[in-house]
Amino acid sequence: GEDVEQSLFLSVREGDSSVINCTYTDSSSTYLYWYKQEPGAGLQLLTYIFSNMDMKQDQRLTVLLNKKDKHLSLRIADTQTGDSAIYFCAEIINNDMRFGAGTRLTVKP
């Protein structure tokens, strides 16, 4: 089974904010990542956060990390239809990157 857990689906209206949540289990993870995958394509790195940070903002993306609860979230502001995709949370442990099952974000016009 997966060590990284995500809810499978999220639906929002265009212009709203989207929040995708993730929990991970290994407190020794040094980096945590968010990837985006569009149909039939590989994984596109969106952003990552070091484990000694609580927050990272990059344009419309905000990552929040709660190490105590092993909880990671990705907020997308002003969500657009082009943001519709599957979003994967991942942690890196030693040399192995472990992924959640992905959250399918649907943006309705």
Partner 1 sequence: DTGVSQNPRHKITKRGQNVTFRCDPISEHNRLYWYRQTLGQGPEFLTYFQNEAQLEKSRLLSDRFSAERPKGSFSTLEIQRTEQGDSAMYLCASRSGRGRGNTIYFGEGSWLTVV
Give me the residues that bind partner 1 (CB under 8 A), please: 2, 4, 30-31, 33, 35, 40-45, 48, 88, 90, 92, 95-102
Cβ proximity to partner 1: between 40 and 82 the closer is 40
Cβ proximity to partner 1: between 14 and 56 the closer is 56
Q: Is the dihedral of CA 65, 106, 61, 102 positive or negative?
A: positive
Does residue 81 sit in helix, strand or coil? helix
55-58, strands of its sheet edge to edge: 5-6, 18-23, 71-76, 61-66, 55-58
Cβ proximity to partner 1: between 95 and 109 the closer is 95
Q: Residue 43's beta-bridge partner residues? A: 37
Q: Tell me the closest approach of the beta carbon of residue 18 to partner 1, in angstroms.
A: 19
Q: Tell me the closest approach of the beta carbon of residue 25 to partner 1, in angstroms.
A: 14
Does residue 83 sit in helix, strand or coil? helix
Q: Tell me the closest approach of the beta carbon of residue 43 to partner 1, in angstroms.
A: 4
